[in-house]
Chain A
Amino acid sequence: MITKADVERVANLACIELNDKELQEFTLQLGAILEYFDELSDIEAQPPKKEEENVLRPDEVTTSLPQKEALANAPRVDSGYFRGPRIL
């Protein structure tokens, strides 16, 4: 059975902050859904080893998005760059 601690761990991995109410609700709901997924446990078939073919294209230089357009949707921009959050 999935516990609150499991959901907290997964939320941390997925970078989604949960409040206490959400944590409680998701623990119950995820538990019920995972219990349903247990019907897969007796599947013995192995996933087929696919012989996928690589899809290649000629390495040709084409025009790329102009800087102004590339930055147009960015919430924070600084001197022509995307501005991310600090690392530490």
Chain B
Amino acid sequence: MSHREYLESVLETIRLSKLNAYITLDHEGVRQQAEQVDAGERDGRLAGVPVAVKDAISTKGLRTTCASRMLEHYVPPFDAFVVTRLKEEGAVIVGKTNMDEFSMGTSTETSYFGPTRNPSDLNRVPGGSSGGSAAAVAACEADLALGSDTGGSIRCPASFCGVVGLKPTYGRVSRSGLVAYGNSLEQIGPIARTVAECALLFEVIAGHDPLDSTSAKLPAPQCTSSLDDHLSGTKIGVPKELFGEGVDPIVEAATWKALHTLDDLGASADVISLASLKRALSAYYVLAMSEASSNLARYSGIVYGYRADRDQNWHTTFSEDRAVGFGKEVKRRILLGTYALSAGYYDKYYSKALGARALIQRDFMKAFKTYDALIAPTMPHTAFRIGEKIEDPLALYQVDINTVPVNLANIPALSLPCGRKGKLPIGVQIIGDKFSEAKLLNVAHQLEQNLS
């Protein structure tokens, strides 16, 4: 089969799909690029591979909406660093995937373009915010995808859709060209059907970029070569705080099954306590919302973005256009963030959240002096029904309890399928020390090969 034929078959799968995984498809670009690969004019480690890109990541000439009415017609004049890397390796960008509006959500239900559905059960959410990316990969509407993870937005949908998703160490992958939501927390990362493919995509996108001043000045990581390393002597910590009340017993049992498999492979596991994690959720949301309120101040409808054609003064114009351009969850987070940063409340919320973040970082650092990796459920339960939680924002935030600590600590973590509850996938989360992605992928690959 030629690349052109293969990519046509992927486009046909998307055409027949009920998932709503994509916001924008690039039919023309796909055909053109596929022909270039067939003609030998495009090569690289991802030559002809269909890749889906989350709609928060800028693609030159291809609409990038962040699933918001605010950016419904926005076409970036440049490629994000990671998109340039994909193109350099010959990847074919199929289109832009659905997500929660401005990445704010855990279910892909807050998208202006309607929810994405879970490939395992069309009545359930795919997780979020990178729900379109995970659903597309799970349903073979792309072979690989990029997501972004501010508080779990790669790992959550990977877990709910039964695919592999990696949130890299903060600074490992350039954020240049990623539409900002919570700058101190977020990273772009790979989503794939296997650990080996996830490792390959990670190698392609990682590395230093002078356009992101938080990008680490480290050589590009080598991960694919160490996937088969033996795990004998590997020490695993099991933080009991991530096995709390809300964790479904079936999810917990699947996580322990993964731990027993690692034990059979020569690793050893201890239950440990990281007491600071109890307040991670509050600390995360205070910081993420505060950063969001500042970042989203840029949407004024002058240089780009939604603007109604009325002739009012600037304050009324901005306030009316932002009221129409932003959805409910985005407004909620901007309002809460503005409140947390406003005079009289900064010390009560923002400053306390930074203190809690410091304690969480310290606890993780201490754990990684002894352990090579930590293991816990990615999500406390399997995918919930569309509409089940959307009217109760706090209940929806609480679903992120096991993923947000990782972002606060700027460390890497990966979600790997480890079983099912009925037809719904369960994910196990493997958390590592800063810049230990190669080790995480090695543990994940061994687990993937040996989990029955």
Which residues of A are in contact with B by a Cβ distance under 8 Å?
2, 6-7, 10-18, 22, 26, 29-30, 32-34, 36-37, 39-41, 43-48, 55, 57, 65, 69-70, 72-76, 82-88
Contacts and interface: CB of A to CB of B under 8 A. Distances in A.
A52 B295 CA distance: 21
19 contacts: A11-B319, A14-B322, A14-B334, A14-B338, A16-B319, A16-B322, A22-B331, A26-B332, A29-B332, A40-B352, A43-B355, A45-B355, A47-B351, A48-B358, A65-B77, A72-B75, A73-B77, A82-B302, A84-B314
Interface of B: 73-75, 77, 210, 213, 279, 282-283, 285-286, 293, 297, 300-307, 309, 311-320, 322-323, 326, 328, 331-332, 334-336, 338-340, 342, 348-349, 351-359, 393-394, 397
Most chain B Cβ neighbours within 10 Å, of A11, A43, A65, A70 = A43
Contacts of A57: 210
Given A40-B356, A73-B73, A76-B307, 20 more contacts: A6-B339, A22-B328, A30-B332, A32-B394, A33-B336, A37-B286, A43-B356, A43-B359, A45-B355, A47-B355, A57-B210, A70-B77, A72-B77, A73-B75, A73-B305, A74-B302, A75-B301, A75-B302, A75-B304, A85-B316
B334 A45 contact: no
A12 to B, nearest CB: 8
A41 B279 contact: no
B102 to A, nearest CB: 14
B342 A33 contact: no
Contact of B285 (A15, A37, A44): A37
A82 B393 contact: no
B138 to A, nearest CB: 32
Given A43-B359, A65-B77, A17 B319 contact: yes
Contacts, number: 141
Nearest to A9: B342
B303 A73 contact: yes
Nearest to A83: B302
Nearest to B286: A37
B293 A14 contact: yes
B246 to A, nearest CB: 14
Contacts of A47: 351, 354-355, 357-358
A21 to B, nearest CB: 11
B389 to A, nearest CB: 13
